[in-house]
Amino acid sequence: MATETVPAAVEPEAPKTGPQETPVIVRELRWEAAGVVSVLLARPDGGRLPAWQPGAHIDLLLPTGIVRQYSLCGSPSDPFAYRVAVRRDAASRGGSEYVHAFLRPGQPLRIRGPRNHFRFEPADSYLFVAGGIGITPILPMARQAAAWGASWQLVYAGRTAASMAFRDTLGALAPHQDAVRVYPGDEGGRMPLEALLGQARPGTAVYACGPGPLLDAVSDGAAHLPRGTVHVERFRPRAGEGTRQDAAVEVVCARSGRTVNVAAERSVLDALSDAGLPVAGSCRQGVCGTCETRVLEGVPDHRDGILSEEEREKGDRMYLCVSRARTPRLVLDV
Ligand code: FES
C-alpha cells in the first residue's frame, strides 16, 4: 500500500461520511393508476423536510433492507411532505412488491436525499417526453414550467391508458389543449417523436424519462439540437455499458493518502469500501448518484446512466459502483 501526496489543485471539501438518513412516516397511500400507487411521506414530528427541485429523487430504505430510488413527484413548494409514485413491477426484486403489498399509512421508514442529477434549468421553451412511470420526475417540471408561464409541451406514452398515472393532473396544468398529449399503447397511440424533435426550435430544452429504448430514440432524434439541450434520466445504464473488457486499475485516494489496487473483477466502490475508505453506495447500478466521486487525475471509463456526453467528456467525476478507468491509474478525491 503506497502513500501519495494530495495534489495542490485539490480544493477542500467536506469529507464524505455517507448519505444522511431522515426518519419519515407514511402519511397516505393513493392509487394513481392501474399498478401505480403514490406514497406521501412526512416527518414523524410534522417538521420540515429538506428542500428539493424538480428532477430530484430520494432513496427509500425499506424494512427488508432493500433500498430503492424514487423521483419526487409532489410539489417542491410543500416543505412538509414528499410524494413518490411506485409502479408494481412484475419482475420486482422486492422493492415495488413491498411498497404495494406491505406498506401502510402510519408506517415508519427512513429515506436518504433528496439528490438531483436531472436538474431542471430555465429555457425559452420545453419539450417533455415521458414513458410509463418516467412521468414522475417530469410532472414537477411541467408544474414548474406552468408556474413560470413558460411555453411547454408534454408527450406521454404508456402500455395501456389505465396504467398511465397523473393524466388528470397534467391536463389541469396544460395551458392549451395541445400542451399535453398522451399515447396509450392499447389505443394504438404512437408518439411522433421524430417529428416533435425535428420541429424543436433553438432554445427548447428537452427533458425525457422512461424506458431505455424511448430515451435512446430521444437522444438520436435530438442529435441536431445544440449540446446541452437534451436531458434524460434513465432507470438503468444504457444497453451496452459494462460490456467492455475490465482491467485492473490503481486507484490513488488523494484525500486519504492511500492507494488501492482494484482487480478487474471488482468494482472500484467495493474495493475502496473494503479497504475502509469513506465511500458510499446505494443502487450499485450507476443510476442513483450516491457514489459520485471527483476525479483528479486519469481518464474514467464511464458506465453509468447519469452523466451526459458533455459531462462524460469532462471526466471530472465518476460513479464508483460501475465505472472504471481508461488509464492504468486514477487519482480520486477520496
Ligand atoms: Fe448508485 Fe453508484 S451506488 S450510482
Residue 134 has pLDDT above 70, yes or no: yes
Give the nearest ligand 1 atom to 282 CA: 3
- Contacts of residues 308-317 at CB distance under 8 Å and 24 or more positions apart, as own/partner, are 308/228, 308/230, 308/231, 309/227, 310/227, 310/228, 317/292, 317/293
Q: What is the pLDDT of residue 241?
A: 64
SS3 101: helix
pLDDT-derived band at 171 (thresholds 50, 70, 90) equals very high
Question: Does ligand 1 lie within 6 Å of residue 200's CB atom?
Answer: no
- Looking from the CA of 127 toward its CB, the CA atoms found within 13 Å total 22
Q: Where are the domains of the chain?
A: 3-115, 125-234, 249-332
pLDDT in tens, 44-88: 999 999 999 999 999 999 999 999 999 999 999 999 999 999 999
Q: Is 318 in the pocket of ligand 1 (CB under 6 A)?
A: no
Share of the chain above pLDDT 90, in %: 74
Question: What's the CA-to-centroid distance between 319 and ligand 1, angstroms?
Answer: 6
pLDDT at position 204 is: 93
* pTM for this prediction: 0.84
The pLDDT-based confidence of 94 (bands split at 50, 70, 90) is confident
The pLDDT score that the predictor gives to residue 240 is: 64
pLDDT in tens, 219-248: 889 888 888 899 999 877 676 665 667 889
Question: 184 alpha carbon to ligand 1 midpoint, in Å?
Answer: 32
**Which residues, 6 or more positions from 165, have their beta carbon under 8 angstroms from its beta carbon?**
32, 33, 36, 38, 85, 133, 135, 136
Pairing of strands 230-234, 204-210: parallel
Which phi-psi region, left, alpha or beta, contains residue 147 (left: φ > 0; alpha: ψ -120 to 50)?
alpha
Burial state string for 40-61 with b = 16 or more CB within 10 A and e = fewer than 16:
bbbbeeeeebeebbbbbbbbbb
- Is 106:26 a contact under the CB 8 Å cutoff? yes
pLDDT range class, residue 12, cuts 50, 70, 90: very low
- Assigned C-alpha cell, 93: 426484486
Choice among 6-10, 93-97, 126-130 with the minimum mean pLDDT? 6-10
Indicate which atom in ligand 1 lies nearest the CA of residue 284.
Answer: 3
Residue type, 222: A
Cβ 272 under 6 angstroms from ligand 1:
no
Determine the distance separating the centroid of ligand 1 and the alpha carbon of 131, expressed in angstroms: 23
Say yes or no: CB of residue 268 within 6 Å of ligand 1: no
DSSP type of residue 71: E
Q: pLDDT tens-digit profile of 243-264?
A: 667 889 999 999 999 999 999 9
The CATH class that applies to domain 3-115 reads mainly beta
What is the CATH number assigned to the segment(s) 125-234? Answer: 3.40.50.80
Average the pLDDT over each of 15-29, 56-70, 163-177, 292-306 and give the range with the smallest value: 15-29
pLDDT of the residue at 226:
87
**Quick one: DSSP state of residue 20?**
P
Kindly state if the Cβ of 204 falls inside 6 Å of ligand 1.
no
- Overall average pLDDT of the 313-326 stretch: 95
Q: Ligand 1: which of 61, 288, 332 to mutate, most ligand atoms within 8 Å of CB? A: 288
Pocket test for ligand 1, best of 67, 241, 290 (most atoms within 8 A of CB): 290
Cβ of 283 below 6 Å from ligand 1? yes
Index of the ligand 1 atom closest to the CA of residue 69? 1
Identify the pLDDT of residue 93: 75
Lowest mean pLDDT among 10-14, 156-160, 181-185, 299-303: 10-14
Q: What is the pLDDT of residues 177-212, one digit of tens each?
A: 889 999 999 998 789 999 999 988 888 999 999 999
How many helices (H) and strands (E) in the chain? Answer: 7, 18
Average pLDDT, the chain: 90
Which residue of 118, 272, 319, 334 sits with most ligand 1 atoms within 8 Å of its CB, as the best mutation to test the pocket? 319
Q: Residue 114: what pLDDT?
A: 95
Number of Cβ within 10 Å of residue 292's Cβ equals 18
Average pLDDT over residues 307-324: 92
249-332 CATH choice from 3.90.1310.10, 3.10.20.30, 3.20.20.140, 3.65.10.10: 3.10.20.30
Counting atoms of ligand 1 from 1, which one is nearest the CA of 304? 4
